[in-house]
């Protein structure tokens, strides 16, 4: 089988308006054209027999389990799944078209417009978005540690780079939880969390930091521009109170076990897998639970996504078949094996919509 790319329903292609294309877009288009021509030459064989998937560490265990099942049952080779973080994975996904580039990307947040632009600039013009389930974001600590009745306001004051003081914004001066709220434990502020490349970090910034910031009119006064204010609200302090622990949630759990005064940020599904070591804390009076996340009562929750590079489907064996397995009833349905591993299922109508989406690939 030879590679010979013919983009389907190409939108915003590099050659559609050459006179207005930027230099970088032209170069990307030329690379894409040259690759297509080279791969269509006689004697150039298909370079890869396995699906390659990159992205979110939160989504990783679910897609990796589905990949193992696919390898056992389908006749195709087991897909290669890498935990690179949502941001890093989407960058790799968008780097180009062909056997050298990832076919699918896991994400714990929706793809950003800037990432779509990057995809287009590198010849990736068609993708399919699948929502495979839900997950919550939890503030956890060691099981033997004191429990925290947290609020988004308290979390914002604990983590923000700037906080209000006497009507102005100053560098964060809070050192102890009790300084923020007398009802909180008398312990130093110490939080382990994911890096900026993580979808969990992005979701936490939006669902907790931005939401907590809304309680303080000082930010509206200091930053009247909405986009700039949003950026400043999401900025995390860098004085050691928050420590980036990488994309490996296991490392955060180990740090919580070793430091019983610390809190950690990660997904609810990972919390359930480590329930013997860590416990969750309430946010705005609600404890995270399966029912609370699915119903929306627990307000720090997000959808989990898988993105498929449509231009690879007819050239890498098994992409279409793996996508259909991933959204099947046996995999992500209410009683699917991924739900048994901690994935929170979609409502029936949304699950059926995902099945219809992949059936049209």
Decide which of 286, 302, 318 is a domain's last residue: 302
Q: pLDDT value at position 38?
A: 44
Decide which of 302, 317, 335 is a domain's last residue: 302
Domain assignment present for 5:
no
Domain assignment present for 211:
yes
Decide which of 285, 302, 319 is a domain's last residue: 302
Domain assignment present for 10:
no
Same domain as 242, residue 289: yes
* Predicted confidence (pLDDT) at residue 322 exceeds the cutoff of 90: yes
Q: What is the pLDDT of residues 88-111, one digit of tens each?
A: 999 999 999 999 999 999 999 999
Q: Pairing relation of β-strands 263-267 and 191-193?
A: parallel
Same domain as 119, residue 97: yes
Indicate the pLDDT class of residue 45, thresholds 50, 70 and 90: very low
Q: pLDDT value at position 30?
A: 53
Q: What is the pLDDT of residues 208-267, one digit of tens each?
A: 999 999 999 999 999 999 999 999 999 999 999 999 988 888 899 999 999 999 999 999
Same domain as 76, residue 154: no
Specify whether the CB–CB gap between 337 and 65 falls below 8 A. yes
**CA 116/CA 64 separation, integer angstroms:** 25
* Predicted confidence (pLDDT) at residue 1 exceeds the cutoff of 50: no
Domain assignment present for 28:
yes
Tell me which of 42-46, 83-87, 156-160, 199-203 is least confident.
Answer: 42-46
Whichever domain contains 153, its CATH number is 3.40.190.10
Same domain as 287, residue 207: yes
Q: pLDDT value at position 236?
A: 97
pTM for this one? 0.79
Q: What is the pLDDT of residues 275-313, one digit of tens each?
A: 999 999 999 999 999 999 999 999 999 999 999 999 999
Same domain as 145, residue 125: no
Q: pLDDT value at position 157?
A: 98
The tokens 């860590």 sit on which residue? 278
184's tokens: 């909180």
Average pLDDT over residues 158-186: 97
Which residues lie across from 135 on neighbouring strands? Answer: 302
Same domain as 293, residue 238: yes
Q: pLDDT value at position 321?
A: 98
Q: pLDDT value at position 33?
A: 52
Domain assignment present for 7:
no
At residue 349's C-alpha, the angle toward residues 351 and 55, to 5°, is: 30
**CA 222/CA 224 separation, integer angstroms:** 6
Same domain as 285, residue 171: yes
**CA 91/CA 299 separation, integer angstroms:** 29
**CA 26/CA 43 separation, integer angstroms:** 28
Which residues lie across from 279 on neighbouring strands? Answer: 141
Domain assignment present for 4:
no
Mean pLDDT of the chain: 89
**CA 121/CA 130 separation, integer angstroms:** 22
In SS3 terms, the chain reads as CCCCCCCCCCCCCCCCCHHHCCHHHHHHHHHHHHHHHHHCCCCCCCCCCCCEEEECCCCHHHHHHHHHHHHHHCCCCCCEECCCCHHHHHHHHCCCCCCCCCCEEEECCCCCHHHHHHHHHCCCCCEEEEEEEEEEEEEEEECCCCCCEECHHHHHHHHECEEEECCEEEECCCCEHHHHCCCCCCCECCEEECCCCCHHHHHHHHHHHHHHHCCCHHHHHHCCCHHHHHHHHHCECCCCCEEECCCCHHHHHHHHHHCCCCEEEEEHHHHHHCCCCEEECEECCECCCHHHHHHCCCCCEEEEEEEEEHHHCCCCCCHHHHHHHHCCHHHHCCCCHHHHCCCECCCHHHHHHHHHHHHCC
**CA 212/CA 16 separation, integer angstroms:** 44
Count of domains forming the chain: 2
Same domain as 43, residue 162: no
Same domain as 350, residue 287: no
Q: What is the pLDDT of residues 5-41, one digit of tens each?
A: 333 333 333 333 333 334 444 444 455 454 445 444 4
Q: pLDDT value at position 17?
A: 36
42's tokens: 């006689």
Q: pLDDT value at position 7?
A: 36
276's tokens: 């013997």
Specify whether the CB–CB gap between 208 and 156 falls below 8 A. yes
Same domain as 154, residue 52: no
Tell me which of 44-48, 149-153, 295-299, 326-330 is least confident.
Answer: 44-48
Same domain as 269, residue 229: yes
Domain assignment present for 24:
yes
283's tokens: 């946010």
Domain assignment present for 62:
yes
Q: List the domain range (segments joined by +) for residue 233.
A: 136-302
Specify whether the CB–CB gap between 132 and 347 falls below 8 A. no
Same domain as 261, residue 174: yes
């Amino acid at each position: 089988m030879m590679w010979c790319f013919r983009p389907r329903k190409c939108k915003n292609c590099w050659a559609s308006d050459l006179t207005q294309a930027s230099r970088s877009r032209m170069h990307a288009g030329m690379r894409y054209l040259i690759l297509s021509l080279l791969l269509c030459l006689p004697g150039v064989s298909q370079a890869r027999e396995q699906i390659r998937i990159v992205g979110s560490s939160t989504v990783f265990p679910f897609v990796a389990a589905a990949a193992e099942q696919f390898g056992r049952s389908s006749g195709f080779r087991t897909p290669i799944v890498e935990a690179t973080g949502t941001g890093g994975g989407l960058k790799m996904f968008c780097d180009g078209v062909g056997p050298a580039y990832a076919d699918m990307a896991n994400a714990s947040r929706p793809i950003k417009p800037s990432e779509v632009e990057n995809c287009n600039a590198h010849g990736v013009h068609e993708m399919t978005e699948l929502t495979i389930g839900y997950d919550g974001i939890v503030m956890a600590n060691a099981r033997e540690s004191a429990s925290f009745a947290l609020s988004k306001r308290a979390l914002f004051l604990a983590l923000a780079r700037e906080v209000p003081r006497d009507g102005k914004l100053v560098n964060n001066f809070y050192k102890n939880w009790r300084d923020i709220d007398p009802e909180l434990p008398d312990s130093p502020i110490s939080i382990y969390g994911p890096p900026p490349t993580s979808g969990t970090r992005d979701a936490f910034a939006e669902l907790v930091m931005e939401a907590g910031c809304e309680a303080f009119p000082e930010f509206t006064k200091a930053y009247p521009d909405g986009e700039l204010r949003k950026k400043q609200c999401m900025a995390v302090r860098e004085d050691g109170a928050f420590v980036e622990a990488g994309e490996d949630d296991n490392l955060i759990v180990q740090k919580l076990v070793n430091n019983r005064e610390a809190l950690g940020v990660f997904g609810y599904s990972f919390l359930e897998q480590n329930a013997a070591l860590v416990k969750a804390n309430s946010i705005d009076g609600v404890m995270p639970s399966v029912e609370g996340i699915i119903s929306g009562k627990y307000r720090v929750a997000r959808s989990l996504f898988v993105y498929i590079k449509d231009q690879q489907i007819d050239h890498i064996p098994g992409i279409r078949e793996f996508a259909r397995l991933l959204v099947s009833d046996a995999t992500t349905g209410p009683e699917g094996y991924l739900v048994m591993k901690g994935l929170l299922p979609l409502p029936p109508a949304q699950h059926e919509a995902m099945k219809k989406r992949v059936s049209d690939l």
